Structure 1
């Protein structure tokens, strides 16, 4: 086999190892049912379409070096996927906080993708984030970031692990933004708790526990649509932070 063809196949494999974790393990792509063979074909096709992957590529010639480079490229892909994982996890945690405040802490639904039990409001926020992601051109932005990653970290040259400082800054920003999504609803439910608690002081015969659950459930159902609608802008901001953080979390040229 000609050396040029061998080099192209090696570059394609390394590029696919970088793209694989993002498309296979990062939300919202994991929320969509898709056979693994289709995902694999999509990853290879997308890797072949990347125009910048061969630019400044440092492809090893030996099999052992190629294997090490493959592990490094897989690490770059995991770092790129980490940003989306964190963003969606923070949004789900914010929804879970509203679940607990609304007394829905024991209410779970079955996730049709994984078959696992998922918190009710947390699942709603996760799928709302996925809807915002696809509605705002998120897949195209991810492809652009992946293409830029080949310029920042050429194939076969990944070195330095994830920058802890960038990771902590990203965690801080997404945490604050995520809990801002449900801040108004959580505050309103807290006021309901205080009102029910004060009412129990004047009417000791009232069953505070039962009344509190009923009132909070009704209030939650009333404010939840408005909360998710108002949160769409904040979700878009969190997703933008994730896209901006993908390259900063990726291992740099080493």
Structure 2
């Protein structure tokens, strides 16, 4: 319900809830464990809280994956002078950065086209068999979360590394020119040059998004599988 890219789809919340309940019923029916029936009320509430924490951790894994690409796009927007250029995200219907929205939409297409959803459901089904509902031991520490967050943020910046490096070199060049030619309007020249370079380099480096997205998906699935 709350994890991208599923949350980015323009599907009514009621439909998403029904799909989530249907998947939960299928996974619960595939598990023949009856140990939940022997739990007391207090243990049952504790088990439900643990399962909820696991779901939030799963949503965090996917949120961090797509947030890294959104952050990389935001860095490009600020460097290229598009910081005030906001677009409407069709999924959330909220304002979002220009290149960040492009990266997230492309990553969502790659996620579904590379059977990322099937891999995620297969992993959840395997975990539900190994750890029946209510018997999950959620012992992940803050160190694992911090390491995963650092990994995905680094991978997200790798998708935009070519554009970021090009814009940085342009800023350095214009800074030297402004010191040599004080009468030059560095602001207007820099904005025009960086706009052209951003579009050209971004078009040439679009091939970086696919492998980075696949590595982000692999990192997210590995993080989910290491939660127990």
Do the aligned partners of 2:111 and 2:117 also contact (CA within 8 Å) in 1? yes
The residue that corresponds to 1:59 in the other structure is 36
Residue of 164, 174, 178 corresponding to 1:186 = 164
**Greater CA drift, 49-58 or 218-227:** 49-58
User: Counterparts of 1:1-254 in structure 2 under 5 Å?
Assistant: 24-50=1-27, 53-56=30-33, 58-60=35-37, 62-63=40-41, 65-249=43-227, 252=228
Calculate the TM-score normalised by the size of structure 1.
0.82
Structure 1 gaps, min length 5:
1-23
CA separation of 1:101 and 1:57: change in aligned 2, threshold 3 A: farther
Structure 2 gaps, min length 5:
none
Q: What's the CA shift for 1:95? A: 1.4
In structure 2, what is the Cα distance between the partners aligned to 1:232 and 1:205?
A: 44
Structure 2 counterpart SS, 1:118? strand
In structure 1, what is the Cα distance between the partners aligned to 2:55 and 2:30?
A: 14
Q: Number of paired residues? A: 227
Deviations 1:53-91 (A, max 9, x none): 524453145555444432222222111222111111112
